[in-house]
A = this chain, B = another copy of it.
Amino acid sequence: MITIIAGTNRPNSRALRIAHLYASLLAQRGAAHQLLDLAALPADFITNALYDNVGQHPEFNQLVKLASEADKLVFVVPEYNCSYPGVLKMFIDGLPYPGGIRGKKAALVGLGTGSQGGLLALSHMTDILMYLGTAVLPTRVRLPFLDQHLTADGELTNALYQQLLAEQTDQLIAF
């Protein structure tokens, strides 16, 4: 099972649209997959699902399960202030120990409206995932200037970007 994580809780995010595209690529290849949209995080997450409350929030636990039951993960990571979104890290900070996303394999996709395309965000994410014992596919895809290449209804109009995602999909399946 491959779980695709849309790494922000922004409503109708570009990350979510790219996550759906990734799901299509996996479907075309017959790979079992599911989607975890961080927009589904419970509203009381920061007070009732962290620290002493880890593991005790049923709604959050459902989201955790989507990640923990997968053997491979795709992180679609929009660039927020030159790093990953805080909400994505909070999700990780709220995962149970042991378990959570330890010992899995992961692919990283960075999104940005500027020229970086999430490069530092992906580097920071790699440090976290390696600490958690999750192997990261060396091909880290970046999609800079994404607002110019992704329509509001989720069509990716850039052929190179399509190719990069397709190649990474193949690599993740073989990883």
User: Which A residues contact B (CB, under 8 angstroms)?
Assistant: 9-11, 41, 43-47, 50-52, 80-93, 115-117, 119-120, 123-124, 126-140, 142, 144, 175
Contacts and interface: CB of A to CB of B under 8 A. Distances in A.
A130 B136 contact: yes
A43 B47 contact: yes
Copies of this protein in the assembly total: 4
Contact of A135 (B43, B88, B115, B135): B135
Contact of A115 (B115, B131, B137): B115
Nearest to A44: B43
Nearest to A80: B93
Given A46-B45, A86-B91, A89-B89, A81 B123 contact: no
Contact of A138 (B45, B80, B130): B130
Contacts of A133: 138-139
10 contacts: A41-B46, A43-B46, A46-B46, A81-B92, A90-B90, A115-B117, A119-B120, A120-B120, A120-B123, A135-B136
A91 B127 CA distance: 21
A124 B127 contact: yes
